[in-house]
Structure 1
Amino acid sequence: MTNTAKHTNRYWGDASLPTSKAEFFNAITTPASAGNGTVATIRMYGPIDSFGGFWGISTKDMGTVLDALPETVTQIILRINSPGGEVFEGMSILNMLRAHKASVIAVVDGLAASAASFVAAGCGETVMSPGSQMMIHSPMSFSYGNAGEFRKTADVLDSVEASMVEIYTEKAGAKDWAALLADETWMTAAASVELGLADRIAVIPDAGETETVGGEELVITVPDNADDPLARVVLLPNQAAARPHNLPSSSELGQPTRKEPLNMSDILKAGLRERLGVTDSAISDELLLAAVDEVLAEQVTDTAPAIPAGTVLIDSAVLTDLQASAALGRQAREEQDNSRRAAIVDSAVKDGRIAPASRDTWLASLNASEEGTTALIGSLAKNTVPVAEIGTSDEPSESDSLFALAFGTDTKDA
């Protein structure tokens, strides 16, 4: 670029800085028009700048997009409208594109100047859109120091120019590159083709609007580890578990690019105060957020009570079933015990150990202490209690019948 010392915004020159990364750098994919595969279109419509962010397109930006391309991509269309920028960033971007398995065609839509010129010329095919231009010039730098320092800087610039000439020569063959670069040569589309830095002039159809095919629209977001509000998420289709990729962003000297402090809106602040029961209308944003954190922490504590050691949690339905089963078991056990104790008493009556009239008494004793009562019954001698019932028989004797005829059946005393 020319005389960057006059430019207030680095490679953007006098133009206003963009408000989003998508204004000058984005990527989309579309199915190939014929055969299998996918075509990826990358629009490089801004400066080449290692700062990234809204300062320009960095190597990391391009690397993130290339890494995100689906495996089905067979061709990359790099659309360029760039004033150029840092030589080594441009060289890295070119080599990254060359290293990709897909074929790369550069389409100059407006301008490919300075570092952008050898990015365009170094691709597999270079197409100039009608009315587009290309500009090449010698590299430049700034230096501070004595004469020796300036001579060292000049040597470095000569070395950088030699690297640029290698790219131009590979594309267009041997030319008086030193003179062309020193003259800051501007070329129309036809002149670029004539010199050999471009292959043809044509209108290459655009893939369409900046959105993914069959996916979500591109979204501007703030990554978790950066304050740059211009960071860009590029979503590309045809990927397994299509994942978002944050285009890296940075600012001068690695500092955040936030120009104004972030403030909580009055509506949000009032709503939080009302819900938290905060009466201080002048409370700071920080203290209000701290109050929110405190409430959230209390909710976590309340909803997760400690379980005492040895306690087992069980589903209520399972507990009900277990209780019913236990009740049936107890009933069956009681019936078994009653049957067994009744059998002990009946056996003692039969053996003549106890009187039939005392049966209920012995059963009660067995219920109170089965083991002791059983031992006591066992110690009683057999046949000590008459088993047969004492009294009249069912059939009256002959003498009883005669007595009844003579005196009647009334046995009461006179």
Structure 2
Amino acid sequence: MNHHSPRATRYWGSVPQPKSKSEIFNAVTSPAPSGDGTIATIRMYGPIDSWGGWWGISTKEVSSVLDALPDTVTQINLRINSPGGEVFEGIAILNLLRAHKAKVTAIVDGLAASAASIIAAGCDEVVMSPGTQQMIHSPWTITWGAAVDLRKTADMLDGVERSAIEIYTAKAGQKDWAKLLADETWLTAPEAVALGLADRIATVKDAGETVTVGDLPDEGDDGELIEDAAFVVPISRFPDRIAAAVASVSKLPVSSEPGEPNQKEKLNMSDTIKAGLRERLGVKDADATDETLLAALDEALAEQPDTPAAPAAATVPDGAVVLDAAAFEELRTNAALGAKARAEQESDRRDAIVAKALGEGRISPNARDKWRAALDKDEDGTKELLASFPANTVPVAEIGHSDTVNSADEALYAAAGWGADENKEA
């Protein structure tokens, strides 16, 4: 039990530093066996130290955990395995536990020494697990200075001892505490019960799997863990449904409410959300509470006009299809383009039929337009008729030139042996 010690003499010393806060301090909540309320289990497995972090367990860390517990907690099981540490941190933690509305049972899992024994002594009940011990001793410190400084330090230590004796006496009654403390008394589980610093020896069942109160971040460049890392505390909001914590918050709320110290602080809306709500709802008070903003939101929603019911959809008869107007227009345009392309294909095909008949000498060039028009009227019949004409009845090779088309045609007709009525015969 030391009042203060410089960094070089802190408990950890050469002991390997923990990699996460959960190695020395964690908490879980679970439904009470009776079904009424919730049990919170807090494991205090390290030194009591005002620096917190990986140096040990501080008052600030314990207060943050207590503030974050759900309102349904009626029982706190404080499991202890600690060599002690700073006496004033221990007394402060003790008073935090005393102020909580839940019953607090200290369960010594290994050792409750020095300042840790003070914490245990202030709980509603102290249970020694089999094979465990407590240790009590006079407070000590390291100091330097002139004789007057050393005398002041000795007086201060005497005052700290009187405070510790007051706590032990409240738990175990009048004893020769000055001698017990001066002798650095180690007490087995039965001896602690006999002295009155413990109520019974028993194995208290744990709440279940560990849920980390808060892992410290990875080591930095200098190899040291960041000491002021934010905790993540599990909070069971549905104790009748689950057997462990189901939610967590990245930053523990710190209660600043006046009056009843057991009142837990509710989780508040973020500043960003609150600012957005104020702007949209027309709330000019920058300090408006969550309840005020929610009330304004309810009022705004109540003023919204009822949305008219959508008209009943018209019944579409069988065989009909309902299309979007734009889609219908696109289909109509594509149909027109397709019809044009098909007409062009048919025209090209009929042109090819006439060209083939001319090339095979079945018709004369002068009759081309007549046969082409006939194909537009009756393609199949005209095509069949052209195929029935004998081939090579009209010369296809060039046989001369004339100044007029009519002269050339007449020459072709003459060479083929056709008379003036060739066109009619064709």
Q: TM-score, normalised by structure 2?
A: 0.53
User: Relative to structure 1, is the Cα distance of residues 12 and 246 closer, same or farther in structure 2, using a 3 angstrom cutoff?
Assistant: farther
Q: Deviations over 1:134-153 (max 9, x none)?
A: 00000011121111111110
Gaps of 5+ in 2: 219-224, 240-245, 254-324, 327-426
What residue is the counterpart of 1:75 in the other structure?
Answer: 75
In structure 2, what is the Cα distance between the partners aligned to 1:149 and 1:100? 38
What residue is the counterpart of 1:140 in the other structure?
Answer: 140
User: Relative to structure 1, is the Cα distance of residues 109 and 131 closer, same or farther in structure 2, using a 3 angstrom cutoff?
Assistant: same
What residue is the counterpart of 1:236 in the other structure?
Answer: 235
- Shift of the alpha carbon at 1:245? 4.6
8 A contact 1:136–1:181 mirrored in 2? yes
What residue is the counterpart of 1:99 in the other structure?
Answer: 99
What residue is the counterpart of 2:109 in the other structure?
Answer: 109
What residue is the counterpart of 1:407 in the other structure?
Answer: none
- Of the structure 1 ranges 74-83 and 236-245, higher mean CA displacement relative to structure 2 is found in 236-245
Q: Deviations over 1:248-268 (max 9, x none)?
A: 9xxxxxxxxxxxxxxxxxxxx
In structure 2, what is the Cα distance between the partners aligned to 1:37 and 1:86? 33
Q: 1:330-345 to 2 correspondence within 5 Å?
A: none
**Over 6 Å off, 4+ runs:** 2-7
User: Relative to structure 1, is the Cα distance of residues 107 and 227 closer, same or farther in structure 2, using a 3 angstrom cutoff?
Assistant: closer
Write the letter of the residue equivalent to 2:198.
Answer: A
Q: Deviations over 1:74-120 (max 9, x none)?
A: 00000000000001000000000000000000000000000000101
3-state SS in 2 of match to 1:12: coil
- Shift of the alpha carbon at 1:227? 4.6
In structure 2, what is the Cα distance between the partners aligned to 1:218 and 1:145? 41
User: Relative to structure 1, is the Cα distance of residues 102 and 3 closer, same or farther in structure 2, using a 3 angstrom cutoff?
Assistant: closer
What residue is the counterpart of 2:166 in the other structure?
Answer: 166
In structure 1, what is the Cα distance between the partners aligned to 2:191 and 2:29? 32
Identity across aligned pairs (percent)? 62
8 A contact 1:25–1:46 mirrored in 2? yes
What residue is the counterpart of 1:152 in the other structure?
Answer: 152
In structure 2, what is the Cα distance between the partners aligned to 1:51 and 1:5? 11
User: Relative to structure 1, is the Cα distance of residues 65 and 219 closer, same or farther in structure 2, using a 3 angstrom cutoff?
Assistant: closer
In structure 1, what is the Cα distance between the partners aligned to 2:116 and 2:94? 9
In structure 1, what is the Cα distance between the partners aligned to 2:6 and 2:67? 36
8 A contact 1:131–1:188 mirrored in 2? yes
Write the letter of the residue equivalent to 2:237.
Answer: N
User: Relative to structure 1, is the Cα distance of residues 145 and 221 closer, same or farther in structure 2, using a 3 angstrom cutoff?
Assistant: closer
In structure 1, what is the Cα distance between the partners aligned to 2:87 and 2:60? 15
User: Relative to structure 1, is the Cα distance of residues 68 and 141 closer, same or farther in structure 2, using a 3 angstrom cutoff?
Assistant: same
In structure 1, what is the Cα distance between the partners aligned to 2:178 and 2:101? 33
3-state SS in 1 of match to 2:126: strand
8 A contact 2:3–2:139 mirrored in 1? no
What residue is the counterpart of 1:27 in the other structure?
Answer: 27
- Shift of the alpha carbon at 1:208? 1.3
8 A contact 1:4–1:10 mirrored in 2? no
What residue is the counterpart of 2:215 in the other structure?
Answer: 220
Gaps of 5+ in 1: 212-216, 249-319, 322-414
In structure 2, what is the Cα distance between the partners aligned to 1:157 and 1:76? 32
8 A contact 2:98–2:123 mirrored in 1? yes
3-state SS in 1 of match to 2:116: helix
User: Relative to structure 1, is the Cα distance of residues 197 and 22 closer, same or farther in structure 2, using a 3 angstrom cutoff?
Assistant: same
In structure 2, what is the Cα distance between the partners aligned to 1:93 and 1:4? 16
8 A contact 2:2–2:139 mirrored in 1? no
Write the letter of the residue equivalent to 2:215.
Answer: I
Write the letter of the residue equivalent to 1:105.
Answer: T
- Shift of the alpha carbon at 1:35? 3.7
In structure 1, what is the Cα distance between the partners aligned to 2:19 and 2:214? 13
Q: Deviations over 1:163-221 (max 9, x none)?
A: 0000100011111100000010011001100111000000000111112xxxxx76636
In structure 1, what is the Cα distance between the partners aligned to 2:99 and 2:115? 19
What residue is the counterpart of 2:11 in the other structure?
Answer: 11
Q: Deviations over 1:303-357 (max 9, x none)?
A: xxxxxxxxxxxxxxxxx99xxxxxxxxxxxxxxxxxxxxxxxxxxxxxxxxxxxx
Q: TM-score, normalised by structure 1?
A: 0.54
3-state SS in 1 of match to 2:16: coil
8 A contact 1:71–1:239 mirrored in 2? no
Q: Deviations over 1:253-300 (max 9, x none)?
A: xxxxxxxxxxxxxxxxxxxxxxxxxxxxxxxxxxxxxxxxxxxxxxxx
3-state SS in 1 of match to 2:75: strand
In structure 2, what is the Cα distance between the partners aligned to 1:4 and 1:148? 19
Task: Please give the root-mean-square deviation of Cα atoms over the aligned residues, in Å.
Answer: 3.0
In structure 1, what is the Cα distance between the partners aligned to 2:2 and 2:144? 19
In structure 2, what is the Cα distance between the partners aligned to 1:130 and 1:166? 27
- Greater relative contact order structure (CA < 8 Å, 6+ sep): 2
What residue is the counterpart of 1:204 in the other structure?
Answer: 204
